[in-house]
Chains A and B, each alone.
Chain A
Amino acid sequence: MSKFAKRGRSGSGVVTFLDVLGWKGVYDRKQDAIGSLTNLIEGVKTRADGASRGRIVESVEVKSISDTIAIFTFCSDAETVAAIEVHGELCQWLIPESIESEIPVRGATAFGNFEIHDSIFVGKAIDEAASWHEQSDWIGVHLTPSAEYVFETKKSNAAWVKFRPPHKNRLDWEPHCVNWTADWTNRVDETKQIKDKFRRLGPIVPEIAGKFANTLSFIEKMAKLEPVAK
């Protein structure tokens, strides 16, 4: 249950942190990177109501600091799964859009207590999302342990699917990850467009190549999950 604290808002809920891959150096690489990032943030804000209303009473909040996008939703215990699904659906839009805008993102979604006051965030869920979101070696979003332990879905079209996200410290676990290719109607064309985008993000130096390769592996795995090609 959430409540107003003396300064800011506190309670339990779902937190997603995302950051832009290769933000350092983006000034030389891309014109109007700030405009592109602002469009992404505004896009998530615009979609938040449509994803959450009728499922969660509290509003989804979207904040940003430099290249980090933070999505927060306070929720009751009964709404936890729905709140995680909502974050997954927002990331389903955000990830391909970030690639399209040439500022690809990676992130992590956590569950737990936290407190927000303006642009100051504190709490277990914040610490967990913050510590995980820069660890993955791909373009994508996965659940952290706290969210994974409470999440279950029976939906066949769920935003989250089990996958082993590539991690810098080679963790051997398989949490739920956002399936941002779920609505692809032509996987061949969509994959080609993603590769074209990756090419434009070049030069593809080895540390970047690994992230791209891991992302393309994820796309291939998602294609195999779908028994009937759309």
Chain B
Amino acid sequence: MSIELQENEKPLLAEIVVRMNKARKAFHEGNLSNEVAEWVLEAGGFAHELHMLLKARGHEPKHHGYMIRNRELQPDDPEFYMHFHPIEDLLKFLADEHANDDSVDQTIGAEFTFKVYSSRWGHDDTYTVKRTQLGWIISNIAIGGPCDKGGRPFLYENFRQDSIHYPEGLDGWMEWLWKQAAEEGLTQPQVQTALQQLADWVSNTEKNRPTGGIWEGY
């Protein structure tokens, strides 16, 4: 949802937009001259003024965590907007108040289940999977411990222990899921669903291995 500006705020936005459009065009042409830097500084001054007005009425513009880190300043510091990018992000915020929201890693320390079929025992086994900073902690009856993001070594040691056949490259999928959880801020149910999809893939591989006939006794 966009932020509705009040009458005293609209002229500030107009001043910012004029200068930013000129600066953007200049940058696109590879022009980093002092004149262009001056346009950005002027726009930054107006941006700070607009920021403070919005803050005063409870609509302080949000910025990405990385932007605050990179600027090494808080957004209400007059110097914060003395750069092209934070001004660009202010304009994005005005168009959509969630434009600068960051995704948060929500599942470090969360526990999941990984229910997989074992032909050896003729039933599903449920492993416990906990997501950690370095990967996963995977445990089942006797075998378990800290694993890397690919689930190595204990996920596969459990499979070997029970002669469970699993798809080649499963470690890559586990790793991908771990990273998506971190970068996209996946929720606990989203990670649980994805993990069970992988477990179902293992179960299908296990259930569909050739049996009977010449395979008897293999």
A contact set with B: CB distance below 8 Å? 1-4, 9, 11, 31-32, 35-36, 46, 50-55, 57-58, 74, 76, 100, 185-186, 189-190, 193, 196
Binds A, one of B65-73, B110-118, B208-216: B65-73
Question: Given the known A-B contacts A1-B33, A189-B134, A190-B134, are A53 and B66 also in contact in the complex, defined by CB atoms under 8 Å?
Answer: yes
Within 8 A of A (CB), among B18-41: 27, 29-33
Q: Contacts of A189 on B, CB cut-off 8 Å?
A: 134, 146
CA distance A74 to B71 in the complex (A): 19
User: B148, A100: Cβ atoms under 8 Å?
Assistant: yes
Within 8 A of A (CB), among B166-198: 168-169, 172, 175, 183
Asked if B48 is an interface residue, CB under 8 A from chain A, the answer is no
Which 5 pairs between the two chains have the least Cβ-Cβ distance? A54-B70, A50-B66, A53-B85, A3-B30, A54-B85
A-B contacts counted at CB < 8 A amount to: 57
User: B67, A1: Cβ atoms under 8 Å?
Assistant: no
User: A100, B85: Cβ atoms under 8 Å?
Assistant: no
User: B27, A57: Cβ atoms under 8 Å?
Assistant: yes
User: B172, A57: Cβ atoms under 8 Å?
Assistant: no
Q: Contacts of A46 on B, CB cut-off 8 Å?
A: 183
Question: Given the known A-B contacts A32-B172, A53-B66, A54-B83, are A1 and B32 also in contact in the complex, defined by CB atoms under 8 Å?
Answer: yes
Question: Given the known A-B contacts A1-B33, A4-B29, A11-B30, are A54 and B86 also in contact in the complex, defined by CB atoms under 8 Å?
Answer: yes
A53 contact from B31, B33, B67, Cβ within 8 A = B67
Least Cβ–Cβ distance between A224 and chain B, in angstroms? 22
User: B149, A100: Cβ atoms under 8 Å?
Assistant: yes
User: B70, A193: Cβ atoms under 8 Å?
Assistant: no
Least Cβ–Cβ distance between B72 and chain A, in angstroms? 9
Given A54-B70, A196-B148, 10 new contacts (CB under 8 A): A2-B32, A11-B30, A50-B66, A53-B64, A54-B71, A57-B85, A76-B32, A100-B149, A100-B175, A185-B133
CA distance A51 to B31 in the complex (A): 22
Asked if B156 is an interface residue, CB under 8 A from chain A, the answer is no
Tell me which of B30, B146, B149, B175 has the highest count of chain A C-beta atoms within 10 A of its own C-beta. B30
Q: Contacts of A186 on B, CB cut-off 8 Å?
A: 134
User: A9, B70: Cβ atoms under 8 Å?
Assistant: no
Q: Contacts of B201 on A, CB cut-off 8 Å?
A: none
B30 contact from A2, A100, A193, Cβ within 8 A = A2
Least Cβ–Cβ distance between B86 and chain A, in angstroms? 6
User: A50, B172: Cβ atoms under 8 Å?
Assistant: no
B169 contact from A1, A32, A190, Cβ within 8 A = A32
CA distance A189 to B66 in the complex (A): 28
